[in-house]
Amino acid sequence: MIRKIVTLPDPVLRRKAVPVRKITKRVRKLIDDMAETMYEAEGAGLAAPQIGVSERIIVIDVGQGLIPLINPKIVSAEGEERDVEGCLSIPGKNAYVTRSKKVTVTGLGLDGKEKRYEAEGLLARAFQHEIDHLDGILYIDYLTE
């Protein structure tokens, strides 16, 4: 089911999302809906707060297949890279943002097992952007000009 994507200034985007305690049928359905909503909006990633659910879940697809991740965490980061970024919750805008070039991300997959991703480039950027959403951080917070 396609959900409505919330946009600024909806306060849910600024809330710290809570961890998922158990991967229930509801959580799996939520992830299905998030993926469907992301593809329909032609986005590369979506975090649960963007559909109004303040829980630590993200979905990403940068063209290498769908990555759903529950309670994701960046466990290491290195380098710097500056590139253009946008956000489905801030429609019609984009800007250059400096992010870590490489990140290692862990979290739970839909099967409840721990997953680990070594990401760089666009995928690393997407992980950082989406995990920020879970802490109420938006890319515009990094802009200085």
The SS3 call for residue 14 is helix
Q: Which of 42, 55, 81, 130 is catalytic?
A: 130
130 is a catalytic site residue: yes
Please report which residue ranges of 11-50 form alpha helices under DSSP H: 25-40
What residue is closest to Ni ion based on CB?
87
Q: Is 126 in the site for Ni ion (CB under 5 A)?
A: no
User: Contact at 8 Å (CB) between 71 and 20?
Assistant: yes
Among 20, 87, 103, 123, which residue sits at the site for Ni ion (rule: CB under 5 A)? 87
What is the distance between the alpha carbons of residues 42 and 61, in angstroms, rounded to a whole number?
A: 10
Which lies closer to Ni ion via its Cβ, residue 77 or residue 137? Answer: 137
Cα angle for residues 16, 17, 18 (degrees, 5° grid): 120
Which lies closer to Ni ion via its Cβ, residue 27 or residue 58? Answer: 58
Q: Which residues are annotated as catalytic? A: 130
Which residues contribute to the site for Ni ion (CB under 5 A)? Answer: 87
